[in-house]
């Protein structure tokens, strides 16, 4: 079977490479922002998928590893993917699309609620292309009143 990459697959290719990352996360209303740094390697899989491997230190000093896959399903006309991490037991399943300007990929998912472990919540991870060497990942959660709350922002810069 041969797959011909679509323009959406080519969009993902701009993420391929070695990156450094600076992250700021809000873990609770009464807590100061948590800051961390890390590295990411993004590989192409056949020109139709990307695999992102993120490594950083957790606030307690322990190592963290996260693996993200993203591709484009022409039959669904949607981006699809997954996310797993060494700090969680939930597998996140992505479904998303590009904005009209093709600068931001919004990936919708659902997972454990931050406020009640017996409930799930809706999340959005957005990848914004700032320049060929800078991109921003932001994560939002939908609160019980339906509003969206940004709880994490990561700046990725391509290694020279």
Give Cα 51 to chain centroid, integer Å.
Answer: 11
Q: What is the pLDDT along the chain (160 residues), one digit of tens a residue?
A: 678 899 999 999 999 999 999 999 987 778 888 899 999 999 999 999 999 999 998 877 789 999 999 999 999 999 999 999 998 999 999 999 999 999 999 999 999 998 888 999 999 999 999 999 999 999 999 998 999 999 999 999 999 8
Q: How much is the pTM?
A: 0.93
Which helix H or strand E contains 8, and what residues bound it?
helix 7-13
> Selecting from 3.50.50.60, 2.60.120.460, 3.40.30.10, 2.40.128.20, what CATH number does the domain 7-24+34-158 have?
2.40.128.20
CA distance 95 to 36: 27
Rg (CA), the chain: 16
Helix ranges restricted to H, 16-146: none
72: which strand partners?
79
For residue 40, which of 22, 24, 55, 51 has the smallest C-alpha distance? Answer: 55
Identify the pLDDT of residue 28: 72
For residue 9, which of 82, 111, 77 has the smallest C-alpha distance? Answer: 77
CA distance 41 to 2: 26
Which helix H or strand E contains 11, and what residues bound it?
helix 7-13
CA distance 155 to 59: 18
């Amino acid at each position: 079977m041969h797959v011909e990459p679509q323009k959406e697959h080519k969009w993902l290719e701009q993420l391929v490479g070695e990156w450094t990352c600076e992250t700021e996360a809000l873990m609770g209303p009464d807590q100061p922002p948590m800051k961390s740094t890390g590295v990411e390697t993004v590989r192409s899989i056949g020109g139709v998928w990307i695999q992102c491997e993120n490594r950083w230190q957790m606030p307690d000093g322990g190592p963290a590893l996260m693996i993200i896959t993203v591709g484009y399903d022409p039959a669904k006309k949607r981006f699809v993917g997954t996310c797993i991490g060494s700090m969680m037991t939930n597998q996140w399943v992505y479904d998303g699309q590009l904005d009209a300007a093709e600068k931001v990929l919004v990936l919708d998912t659902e997972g454990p609620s931050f406020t009640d472990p017996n409930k799930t919540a809706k999340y959005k991870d957005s990848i914004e292309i700032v320049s060929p060497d800078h991109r921003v990942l932001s994560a939002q959660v939908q609160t019980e009143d339906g509003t969206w709350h940004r709880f994490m922002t990561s700046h990725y810069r391509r290694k020279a």
